[in-house]
Amino acid sequence: MGEVEMSHVQTLVERHHADPEALVEILRELNQQSGYLTRETIVAVAEALRLPVSQVFSVASFYSMISLAPVGRHVIRFCEDAPCHMVGGRQVWQALEAALGIKFGETTPDGEWTLLPTSCIGLCAVGPVMMVDNDVYGNLTPEKVPEILARYAGGAQ
């Protein structure tokens, strides 16, 4: 872990007044910035908050918005819960796997894409829904998938 990241953990922890109650929020914010948490980050947070490393790891591994493994440059989170499933989610799911050539839970070999399932994100009125990084796409059809993915190809965003 570099100096920058270390001081970053420090800053973030201080902003939350080194309050152990803020652990979930601190981990989530760190995850938002770097996509996933390394072992070094977990240890740094534990030290800054004076908590056992095991406890920080336990919390980090519990929440779905915190990742402990590297992810691709873009992360797709696709909802296939009942409301989205009812309106064609299954077909979009298959289209995503076909377009990226990977299964859910995997990252493309070039490190561009990670395809993850997510639980309901509360946008069911426009299902099927997915999030690409922080962008939301609704009313998805298999036909729209390649077009949306193309927007992220080649350095854009």
The site for another protein (CB under 8 A) is made up of 19-25, 27-28, 31, 57-69, 77, 79-83, 85-87, 103-105, 116-127, 135-136, 138-139
Q: Which is nearer to another protein, 4 or 81 (CB)?
A: 81
Nearest residue (CB) to another protein, 66 versus 99: 66
Reported for 81-87, long-range contacts at CB under 8 A and 24+ positions apart, including other chains, are 81/119, 81/120, 83/120, 83/124, 83/127, 84/120, 84/124, 84/127, 84/128, 84/129, 85/128, 86/127, 87/127, 87/128
How far does Cα 61 stand from its chain's mean position? 13
CB of 133 to another protein, least distance (A): 11
CB of 113 to another protein, least distance (A): 15
Among residues 63 and 146, whose Cβ is nearest to another protein? Answer: 63
Minimum CB distance to another protein smaller for 11 or for 139: 139
> At closest approach, how far in Å is the CB of 76 from another protein?
11
- What's the CA gap between 101 and 120, in Å, rounded? 24
